[in-house]
Amino acid sequence: MVKFIICAKRKEGMTHEEFSAYWRNHHGPLVRSVPEFIRHVRKYVQCHLVQGALPLGAAGDYDGVAELWFDSLESLTTAFNEPRYLEIIRVDELKFADLGKSISFVTEEVSVV
């Protein structure tokens, strides 16, 4: 199992509240509605910032974190190359996220506690 983590930055001109509302109320349901993509995803969670909490380090540079679990690196690659992902989900990401200022990486979880 691998996890794809995205530290997301909102588009210029969008408030954090607008970003969070769009991501939660539009993008999440949109992702769920595309079976060609979501069939590869074992779990998808959005981590929205808690307002008033003090950021640690560079955390203040991002507006939220998404985590997507896949069975393998191959299934992750297949999912993000699905034509319907590219036609629907990717286009929507560009409406609220600044992908050039966001970061992502693929990880393997190591349970500690």
List, for residues 10-30, the tens digit of each pLDDT value.
999 999 999 999 999 999 999
Positions in the chain short of pLDDT 70: 53-60
Name the domain count of the chain: 1
Whether residue 33 lies inside any domain: the answer is: yes
In a domain, 113, yes or no: no
* pLDDT value, residue 51: 76
Task: Locate 2 and state its tokens.
Answer: 């691998």
In a domain, 86, yes or no: yes
Give the predicted TM-score (pTM) of the model. 0.89
Burial of 98 (0-12, 13-18, 19+ CB in 10 A): middle
Query: In a 3-state reduction of DSSP, which class is residue 68?
Result: strand
Task: Please tell me what DSSP assigns to residue 106.
Answer: E
Rounded Cα distance, 33 and 77, in Å:
19
CATH number for 39: 3.30.70.100
**Does 112 fall in a domain?**
no
Range of the domain at 94: 2-107
> Residue 52 and residue 106: Cα distance in Å, rounded?
29
